[in-house]
Amino acid sequence: MIDMEFIENGSVTSVPGFQAAGVTAGFKKSGAPDFALVFSEHPASFAGVFTSCTFAAAPVLLGREKVLKGGTLRAFAINSGNANACTGAQGLENARKSCEIAAEKLGIPASDVVVASTGRIGVQMDMSLIEKGFDLAVPALSAQGGNDAARAIMTTDTVPKAVAVKVKINGVDVTIGAMTKGAGMIDPKLIAPHATMLCCIATDACADNGTLASMLLPCAQDSFNRITVDGDMSTNDTVILMANGKSGVKVLPGSSEYETLRQALLSVMQKLAREMVMDGEGATKFVTVKVVNARSDADAKLAAEAVANSVLCKTAWFGNDPNWGRVVAALGYSGAEFDPAKCNIYYDETPVVRDGGDAGTPESDLLDVVKKREFVITCDFGGGSGEYWVWSSDLSHEYVTINADYHT
């Protein structure tokens, strides 16, 4: 058990040596904040993971390039209101130009800047708004600006999502702070480098790029890659991890320091992942789908994701309907290999299916479970040691309304 505590109202700027700002550049017609900047006072090591969507946005293409080249990072800029996706060569040039503008305003090399975008797909970036964003954000940078930055990256999110922790490593406080956005188009499949959700993570640990990369992807696999709101992967998913070394605590692969930092990083990322599902567009339920005793982890993953993404299951959860027939149908078409006659299903601890058939539990008991804000569906295949879990949400009338009317 690591010695870790969450910081009240924590954010990326809870980390010593990081500043941030959130401003209104004019991307959103509403006039809400729509441009965020996170800045490291010193050159930082970094790592990144990105969407595996073939239609990757221009900032993703540029971010992958930056991660492969290596070096250091000083600034991460995010605009909300234009995804700069499916914008061709001009879009890529605009992403590069955004880095150059940031470099000029901050007095740093353009190679020390990454950008990310979220919003409407297929619209060329208005570079005058990018220029305005930096003009406003650079002088507004502050060691108290983390929560402002978290608000500025929101789209259909109803609340900003930021967190920070302190963890003791060799008796020294090491801090990790992060922010994310995402409420719809959430089913990340983040890969390195090759998450709509965007995430910036900062730490004052001392670790090189390779060490951070070896830590970030596995943590993404057990956090952001375990969530789904609607089964739709974004063109823009991006997670950037920066380490400025200010704590003086050196972290090397295979060391106890590495394992402690990894556990703290995973806690931060899982907390943000959970908040994204809780704030899913129109969501009223938080549902954990677990598959256990499968023939393999791969089979368990197929089955869990099938249930978690099933429109019929998700609408049943919204309607407080304990209809387990939808769960077994999803398991059956998932592609996982299992013996239906050995399958047992539970809603929380309440038996629903036993040996592939009705467990005989009164429907009123099942209704008591699915009425709750949070519950767990456990599918026991009784045929091995494979397991997997997914965090999912329901699908409500409001989700349809939001996405029928959505126009950034």
In the chain (408 residues long), the average pLDDT of successive 10-residue segments reads 95 98 94 97 97 91 96 97 95 98 98 94 96 98 98 88 97 97 60 68 98 96 88 82 98 97 98 89 91 98 96 96 97 98 98 98 97 98 97 88 65
Q: What is the pLDDT of residue 2?
A: 93
Positive or negative torsion for Cα 326, 329, 333, 339: positive
Q: What is the pLDDT of residue 191?
A: 61
Q: What is the pLDDT of residue 386?
A: 98
Do 245 and 204 contact (CB within 8 A), yes or no?
A: yes
| Rounded CA separation 363/138 (Å) | 59
Q: Is 215 helix (H, G, I), strand (E, B) or coil?
A: helix
| Rounded CA separation 48/377 (Å) | 32
The domains found in the chain, sorted by start residue, are: 4-278 (3.60.70.12), 286-405 (3.10.20.340)
| Rounded CA separation 38/203 (Å) | 12
Q: Which of 41, 12, 45, 24 is nearest to 251 (CA)?
A: 45
**CB-neighbour burial class of residue 329 (10 A; exposed 0-12, middle 13-18, buried 19+):** middle
Q: What is the pLDDT of residue 280?
A: 75
Catalytic residues: 196
The encoded tokens of residue 354 equal 């036993």
User: Under 8 Å CB-to-CB from 186, ≥6 apart: which residues?
Assistant: 196, 197, 227, 228, 229, 230, 232, 234, 276, 277, 280
Q: What is the pLDDT of residue 232?
A: 61
Whole-model pTM: value is 0.93
